[in-house]
Structure 1
């Protein structure tokens, strides 16, 4: 299905009852200014229902139709009482009140909680003047050690170049257009909350990194607590919060879903001044999540280890790749996961076949079936490794890997020996901008650290950042509804990451909707209309 780009046209046509001067971070701002706040600034967690501006926007939806939406917009609100950085620890709220001239009552609508994180960079709403304007900040800090550019692991293909800002929720559709989930959600009659959060590149005047792990997830949890604390004041159903995110934002969305009300975050949330409320969410939607970082290097080599050349033209050390594949096999066996559709135990010996039959061949089948007869014939002539018979696509694992081509990353992909990966920076601490977080990465360090053990705080940080940690403990506060997506040509990570998430959650009895997009890369979303329909279905919402 072809999805058109979203048109963005936002005009102020009125203002709510509250107007005047509020302060954010010590700066006085008018409530009518584009960067103003509601009456609930630092020091208070009470949402002011009247502190909105009234706006209009025309949104092109997933089916190509246009909708004129009138909505109430709350400018940046600080969601903790002890903010470290009000440029990032704030959120905006958008509530539809009229769609195509028809009044909308969103008082009990699902709340789409859309984070804009990419590459574990900061996300901000400080300049947002309307829905879908939150941004990912790829600047504001030094690159990690090792002399690399600091380009992160896993940015959506629509993301900006380093040094610019981008929107992680502006994903690509099958036709190469843009998909803005916050705007599509608004056009569907849902309440939209877009939170900012700290990220790995932020430093204070003394050079301390204050946005590294677990800052981002702490901030997102605090934002959820703010929403739930304001039940009855903030529009929407606070029991039906649906988190969305892409890439590292997808990882954080998955973590938010898996770790609801986990006590291991309490000290961090208390320090931030988070509301005394639940941070559990109803559903988690995660596109190409860059997660399970301590095992991601092995999963990457399992899938892409035979792709000996990177997109840069550089070769891959096959000894390192083999070592990491061995570590993957050990970890996968320890997980004791069972595949979907009665596949059985998932091991390194059969995971390629599992991906083929459960995800890859169905993805190719769906794609080919959507083409016209002539377009399908042309595609199959160019991709002779696919057998098309009886309306079904089949092929081998080796042919699939060859079809994907050169991999994006070196080995290791995430815990780089020279500390150059964005994830190394994500585990930075104090004035140390990048650290190893796996024993294998540390053992092969090329920066001259000389350390024999990982820093003592790393195991805790890994637990704080990994949804699989909470899923493995059957966290009772986890979300029970999951939407998981990744492109089959995405070599920013490994398809194993999404497949393991789906298998682990399904094993707990959760509602899991997972599939892969054929021939799509990182940050793709070719079924946004289906996602919007899914929210309505699982939440029980009817307009």
Structure 2
């Protein structure tokens, strides 16, 4: 069923019925003239109501635009959240499984418009739905930072999607956002759009998923795993559209693949993010660029040994993937470094061609980045990039990759070791209270009645937090032994949020990918992003991949709106 076109919901036998096709108990018969009305109560409950909207007046490029805005709970069995969370207060218990759909009035009847599907989830944190498209707001489509204005100017339906993820508590006290919750919720929202395709503006065959950081990782995971049966039991639990049967017997009558992915600095492949990070940065870590843990400076504590041990696992992991380098040889960890260096070279030469002044050896790189305290400017001497030729026709003569990595770490301090799965290990306690810090992505994993679970080998085997239910100290099992148990959900969780687990498989990966990771972004390893590049590139269903390391850009997204939207338009125009 994966390759069929699912526009069958245009047909109706009665005012309250929708049509469901391609298999299952509600299948359309082989003869095209015969149709069967949907009897699935959940699908009927998820029927789009075009009358339930609010009117929002904004301007785009100074011109008045009237929008219809729909607030939709996209599952039939939402998991209600506590209204008072640790870092926020909600007004709607369903806010994590709600989307806001904004449609210009002149696009209400447009069945071809693209759906710009924006997920949040910075740091893989849960994201209650919200939108910046509010009454009286002004947007500008011609800047490089206003993706809302660009999307509305292009005539796209703009969709803000809330999803569960780490750190949130349900009304019953359970941790409701454990993996794969964010991926499952995004898929459920996509399924709602497909179920109601002909009732809603735009085309669910033209969904462009986009997000930054954890949202970029979520974008990659959703876009890689289209129509995978692995998610059906989880979709069934929340009453997602198109699910027939339950548990291991669940089947689907609706697709959840997407047209394109626009992913900025995607924090992806979390199960291997730490080994990639230490492979990238272990050799340049120091007290100057790595913070203290538990009041102990980097060089005096457990971090150096941890970093070295974790980094040693990466080469074997890369080899196990059996990916190919550009020349057809087996991709290796060193090959990833070589490829990253080539991407840096390409970007610098692209900037020179545009007229950007790039400093020669001994000159200064100047970067700026925003943060809670305002804008930070950093000036560092170029000791890694050698140019040849004049300033307007220069080419890159050489890059000292080790010094380049050191430059990135000097531009912004590295994450401490362990970077992504740190809970209960390497002295990661509050220096005053002695309480284990809940940091990194550790609390995305484990069962719903546990606050967190270590999900990487080194952290599991070195967990020292007695009584947390995680690690060899509490289970008596090494990570390998624990992962071999059929009863554990941890292995499934790690897989279900990892795009590399679905690229180059039977899953229907998005055919179009636009991936960006800033040239001075140290929030995840360049090696992990270049690895994602090779996995996408090798997937036979991928038709186009645009991948860059933008010049002097840090951990951020939507800084190249004109380029990104020109790329989106080109792909949509090529597929009318």
Which TM bucket (shorter chain)?
0.7 to 0.9
Local SS of the residue matching 2:424:
coil
**Residue aligning to 1:74:** 69
* Residue in structure 2 matching 1:411, options 406, 417, 421: 417
Deviation at 1:387, TM superposition (A): 1.4
Deviation at 1:252, TM superposition (A): 0.7
Contact 2:124–2:165 under 8 Å retained in 1: yes
Deviation at 1:379, TM superposition (A): 4.4
CA separation of 1:311 and 1:179: change in aligned 2, threshold 3 A: farther
1:7-61 Cα distance to aligned partner (Å, 9 max, x none): xxxxxxxxxxxxxxxxxxxxxxxxxxxxxxxxxx9982111223333333234xx
CA separation of 1:408 and 1:260: change in aligned 2, threshold 3 A: same
**Residue aligning to 1:354:** 339
Contact 1:42–1:80 under 8 Å retained in 2: no
Compare the two structures and name the one with the higher strand fraction. 1
Aligned length: 450
* Residue in structure 1 matching 2:275, options 298, 305, 308: 298
**Residue aligning to 2:114:** 110
Deviation at 1:311, TM superposition (A): 4.9
| Aligned-residue CA RMSD (Å) | 3.1
Q: Which whole-Å CA distance do the structure 2 matches of 1:392 and 1:374 have between them? A: 10
Q: Which whole-Å CA distance do the structure 2 matches of 1:515 and 1:395 have between them? A: 17
* Residue in structure 2 matching 1:397, options 379, 387, 401: 401
Deviation at 1:203, TM superposition (A): 1.1
**Residue aligning to 1:156:** none
* Residue in structure 1 matching 2:316, options 314, 330, 343: 330
Deviation at 1:224, TM superposition (A): 0.2
**Residue aligning to 1:478:** 509
How high is the TM-score relative to the length of structure 1? 0.76
**Residue aligning to 1:439:** 457
Contact 2:127–2:162 under 8 Å retained in 1: yes
Q: Which whole-Å CA distance do the structure 2 matches of 1:109 and 1:51 have between them? A: 21
- Specify every segment of 5 or more residues in structure 1 that has no aligned partner in the other structure, as ranges: 1-40, 60-65, 134-169
Deviation at 1:486, TM superposition (A): 0.4
Q: Which whole-Å CA distance do the structure 1 matches of 2:328 and 2:274 have between them? A: 25
Deviation at 1:266, TM superposition (A): 0.7
**Residue aligning to 1:256:** 222
Contact 1:90–1:126 under 8 Å retained in 2: no
CA separation of 1:129 and 1:539: change in aligned 2, threshold 3 A: closer
Q: Which whole-Å CA distance do the structure 1 matches of 2:464 and 2:136 have between them? A: 42
Contact 1:69–1:187 under 8 Å retained in 2: no
CA separation of 1:434 and 1:372: change in aligned 2, threshold 3 A: closer
* Residue in structure 1 matching 2:199, options 233, 242, 263: 233
Deviation at 1:105, TM superposition (A): 6.7
CA separation of 1:105 and 1:258: change in aligned 2, threshold 3 A: same
Q: Which whole-Å CA distance do the structure 2 matches of 1:524 and 1:264 have between them? A: 30
CA separation of 1:540 and 1:506: change in aligned 2, threshold 3 A: same
CA separation of 1:250 and 1:376: change in aligned 2, threshold 3 A: same
Deviation at 1:179, TM superposition (A): 2.7
Contact 2:446–2:490 under 8 Å retained in 1: no
CA separation of 1:180 and 1:215: change in aligned 2, threshold 3 A: farther
CA separation of 1:400 and 1:184: change in aligned 2, threshold 3 A: same
**Residue aligning to 2:95:** 87
Contact 2:225–2:257 under 8 Å retained in 1: yes
CA separation of 1:500 and 1:329: change in aligned 2, threshold 3 A: same
1:294-328 Cα distance to aligned partner (Å, 9 max, x none): 11111101111122133536426332222222210
Local SS of the residue matching 1:226:
helix
**Residue aligning to 1:315:** 298
**Residue aligning to 2:444:** 426
Deviation at 1:286, TM superposition (A): 0.9
Local SS of the residue matching 2:205:
coil
Deviation at 1:232, TM superposition (A): 0.9
**Residue aligning to 2:233:** 267
Local SS of the residue matching 1:112:
strand
Q: Which whole-Å CA distance do the structure 2 matches of 1:334 and 1:372 have between them? A: 40
- Matched ranges for 1:459-538 at <5 A: 459-472=491-504, 474-509=505-540, 510=542, 511-538=544-571
Q: Which whole-Å CA distance do the structure 2 matches of 1:272 and 1:483 have between them? A: 30
Deviation at 1:129, TM superposition (A): 6.1
Deviation at 1:247, TM superposition (A): 0.7
CA separation of 1:374 and 1:319: change in aligned 2, threshold 3 A: closer
**Residue aligning to 1:284:** 261
Q: Which whole-Å CA distance do the structure 2 matches of 1:107 and 1:187 have between them? A: 17
- Specify every segment of 5 or more residues in structure 2 that has no aligned partner in the other structure, as ranges: 1-41, 81-93, 243-253, 366-379, 426-437, 468-472, 483-487
Q: Which whole-Å CA distance do the structure 1 matches of 2:450 and 2:439 have between them? A: 14
How high is the TM-score relative to the length of structure 2? 0.72
Larger radius of gyration: 2
Local SS of the residue matching 1:93:
strand
Contact 1:364–1:518 under 8 Å retained in 2: yes
Contact 1:54–1:70 under 8 Å retained in 2: no
CA separation of 1:117 and 1:106: change in aligned 2, threshold 3 A: farther
Q: Which whole-Å CA distance do the structure 1 matches of 2:574 and 2:49 have between them? A: 25
1:453-497 Cα distance to aligned partner (Å, 9 max, x none): 45621111111111111114x234221111111012111101122
Deviation at 1:422, TM superposition (A): 3.0
Q: Which whole-Å CA distance do the structure 1 matches of 2:325 and 2:514 have between them? A: 17
1:179-214 Cα distance to aligned partner (Å, 9 max, x none): 343342112211111111112111135531011111
Contact 1:343–1:354 under 8 Å retained in 2: no
